[in-house]
Structure 1
Amino acid sequence: MTKTMKIILYISLVLLLGVILFFLVVFYGNPISKILANRSADEYLSTHYTDLDLVRERAYYNFNDGTYYVRIWDKKSIDTKFYLSFDSFGKFKYDSYSERLFNTYSRYVLFLNALADEIAKDSGLDFEIWLGPDDEINYSSYLTLDQDFDADNLPSKVKADFKSYAEKPSLDDLMDGLKKVYEVLKERNIAVKSYSGLVIPNADKKDDGEAETWKNAVSVNDVPEKVIVDGDMEKLKKIYDKGNEILHK
């Protein structure tokens, strides 16, 4: 190998190493900045939340916002999970401790998802249902940190939704599904804020039971309980028409 070829090879290797290091820093952050973030986190926690039994992870880099994060949690609390964020110089940016109640809310959402599956199975429904928190009320007004959830005593009203299939979906199919959902939830004494439903043509049903497309389906949102109890097709149609107007604006 000639001297010129050796020089070219050396330069190529240096350039390749530079490119690799560049991408490592871009996607995984600067090692020195991580050290600074870890040090700053230690200093911050030495004067904050000293009454908690905290565990923290090492700093990691988020290339989306160029920030270094340190995840922290309390061993004695299921919901006290938060993070501290720092810039590349280890300067403090944000503490998410005050937002930890959102972790309770997330657990509540998962609890309602599991409860919906349980109710659908126990009631022998031939379609899917979902339950979700009443989103018109801020969860901070009815949830407490580390709260346990009881299916017989939910902390809030819920919004109920279903998805079913029919040969030629119609408002009658929607009302039929809404009534079935109303009945099974009434049996469980679950307070419902409003009901929604989606009926998809059998022709649009895939082999795995999902929908290939929803464009040929009929759906309705936020139906009051009274409309279902009264079987009021006229009011159901008004809600359906209003929803279509908003959808196609």
Structure 2
Amino acid sequence: MLKKFWARAIELMTNEEYSIQVQALDSGKYKSSDLSNEFKYLKTPEKLETPQVRVVDNFLLWDIVDGARAYLVKEGDVSFETADTYFNVNRFLHFRQGMSYSIDVIALAEPNQNIDSDSCDINYGLFEKLVLDLNESILSWNEIPNTEYYRVAVEGNHVEVTDTSVDLDEYIPDLIKGNTYQVTVILGNDEGGFYSTHSGEKILYKKPLDKIKAPSVVDIEGTTLHWAEVELHLLTKSLLAIMKRLSKN
């Protein structure tokens, strides 16, 4: 039967090999056992923690990793070593507008320790800034190089277009009149898909109410104005103002 015993922790030196044996100790009723067979144990250091990288504009930022002497930032065959906890992505001179790249950030230990951290993989897209313009229901934006299409998303609905404008009322007709919605435009291409983290721009759109049809004036008898009945039986303030001016005359 396999027994488990708790023993006081012994401070072992990293990268040192130890010979370990187990002995059953005297309980007062029996003599202590001989030492067990000997086995070897090599204490190896633990890997460094993986950097937690975040993207702010064109910079990669991360916190200090305990035990790290430097950090390796690489994309493909191009790499940079830095002692800082930030990196300007513009140093990758081969990056192109509208493309997405996978960047690795690794915490480096002292040479020969073999405990470099795992890689933190960041998907980074290099894009010009989208500038959105809304004119009634027509949403338009500037053309971005190397973009195959644009995804326009509203309230869980979306449409993909290759032009730089879209009629929201035509392409997303289920929006409720009078309600305000947040519209997001995201860049995409066939190589890297959508890059919502870096390229999404937002704008608010209020779907207009239907406009009341203008009244058709029929006749004026003295100070009495007659007009055809307006749909929904609503009168505008401007119409009331006209009536007041006419009555004064």
TM-score (norm 2): 0.26
**Higher helix proportion, which one?**
1
TM-score (norm 1): 0.26
Rg larger in structure: 2
**Higher strand proportion, which one?**
2
